[in-house]
Structure 1
Amino acid sequence: MTRPGVIVDVDGTLLDTNYLHTVAWARALRANGYDDVDMATIHAAIGIASDGLVEYVTGGPDDAVGSTHASEYEAFQDDVRAFPRAGDLLRACAEKGLAVVIATSGRASDLEWMLPAIGVDEDVIATATTSGDVEEAKPAPDLMEVAMTQGDLDPARTVALGDTVWDVEAAAKAGIPCVAVLTGGVGEAALREAGAVEVWTSAADLLAHLGDSRIGRLAD
Structure 2
Amino acid sequence: MTLQGVILDIDGTLVLSNDAHAEAWVEAFKKFGHQIEFEQVRPMIGMGGDKIIPKLVPGLSSEEGEGKKLADYRKELFLNKYASTITPANGARELLLKMQDEGLRLVVASSAKSEELSVLLKIAEIDDLLEETTTSSDADSSKPDPDIVKAALNKSQLQPDRVIMLGDTPYDIESANAVGVDVIAFRCGGFDDNQLAKAIAIYDDPAELLAQYDHSPIS
TM-score of the aligned structures, taking structure 2 as reference length = 0.91
Q: Is the 8 A contact 1:126 1:151 kept in 2?
A: no
Structure 1 CA distance, aligned partners of 2:55 and 2:207?
32
Contact in 1 for aligned 2:3/2:164 (Cα 8 Å)? no
* 1:11 and 2:16 correspond: no
Q: Distance in 1 between matches of 2:175 and 2:49?
A: 16
Asked whether 1:139 is paired with 2:138, we answer no
CA distance in 1, matches of 2:17, 2:208: 19
Letter in 1 for 2:200: V
- Is the partner of 1:153 in helix, strand or coil? coil
Judging changes above 3 Å, is the alpha-carbon distance between structure 1 residues 90 and 77 closer, same or farther for their aligned structure 2 residues?
A: same
Aligned AA (2:45) = I
Identical columns (%): 29
Any idea what SS the aligned residue of 1:190 has? Answer: coil
What residue in structure 2 maps to residue 44 of structure 1? 43
User: Contact between 2:50 and 2:142, CA under 8 Å: does it hold in 1?
Assistant: no
Distance 1:78 1:63 in 2: 24
Residue 86 of structure 1 pairs with residue 103 of structure 2: no
Contact 1:6–1:98 (CA<8 Å) still a contact in 2? Answer: yes
Query: What amino acid is aligned across from residue 173 of structure 2 in structure 1?
Result: V
Instruction: Give, as a single letter, the amino acid of the residue that structure 1 aligns with 2:178.
Output: K
Partner of 1:211: 214
**1:139-188 alpha-carbon deviations (Å, 9 max, x no partner):** 11111111011012221111111001110100111111111000111111
* Moved beyond 6 Å, runs of 4+: none
1:46-88, CA deviations, whole angstroms, 9 ceiling, x for partnerless residues? 0111121111222232222211211221212222210121011
State the partner residue of 2:64: none
Q: Distance in 2 between matches of 1:121 and 1:187?
A: 28
Query: Which digits, 9 at most, give the CA deviation of each residue in 1:89-141, with x for residues without a partner?
Result: 1111111111111111111223332222111253x324111110111111111
Contiguous gaps of at least 5 residues in structure 1: none
Q: What secondary structure sits across from 1:29 in the alignment? A: helix
Could you tell me how far apart the structure 2 residues matched to 1:111 and 1:23 are?
18
Give the AA of the match of 2:76: S
Give TM-score scaled by structure 1 length. 0.91
Aligned residues: 211
Shift of 1:33: 1.4
Letter in 2 for 1:84: N
1:104 maps to what in 2? 110
Corresponding residue number in structure 2 for 1:171 = 176
Partner letter of residue 152 of structure 2?
A
Given that 1:171 and 1:178 are in contact with CA atoms closer than 8 Å, whether structure 2 keeps it comes out as: yes
Answer whether contact 1:45 1:57 (CA < 8 A) is retained.
Answer: no
Does 2:164 correspond to 1:159? Answer: yes
Q: Is the 8 A contact 2:90 2:206 kept in 1?
A: yes
The answer as to 2:8 corresponding to 1:29 is no
> Does residue 70 of structure 1 match 2:75?
yes
Alpha-carbon distance, 1:3 to partner: 7.2
Q: Match of 2:119, as an amino acid?
A: W
Q: Distance in 2 between matches of 1:121 and 1:107?
A: 15
Quote the Cα distance in structure 2 between the aligned partners of 1:47 and 1:27.
18
2-side partners of 1:55 and 1:156: how far apart? 34
Q: Decide whether the 8 Å contact of 2:50 with 2:141 is kept in 1.
A: no
Check conservation: 2:7, 2:163, Cα contact below 8 A: yes
Cα distance in 1, alignment partners of residues 115 and 218 from structure 2:
28
